[in-house]
Amino acid sequence: MEVPPVFVCVCNAINDRTVREILATGGGGVDTPAAIHRAAGCKPQCGRCLPEMAGMIRETQTASAFAKAAD
């Protein structure tokens, strides 16, 4: 059973799948929550999503570093 998407940014209706897709296709250039918003075509508003997005960026960077180390 597929897990439904979860909103990360309620103000801009950005869900976790969209964030992960942006991070996966950003080639490392998307390294801040503001960059995620820009890639999604919007701007941060209330800012409550910024810590969650920062955590998702760190996860992606850590996974990428492990993948490079394993090469």
Residues engaged in binding ligand FES (CB under 6 A):
9-12, 44-49
CB of 14 to ligand FES, least distance (A): 7
Residues 60 and 8: their CA atoms lie apart, in Å, by 16
Residues 23 and 14: their CA atoms lie apart, in Å, by 13
Q: Kindly tell me which of 17 and 65 has the beta carbon lying closer to ligand FES.
A: 17
CB of 10 to ligand FES, least distance (A): 5
CB of 3 to ligand FES, least distance (A): 20
Residues 62 and 51: their CA atoms lie apart, in Å, by 16
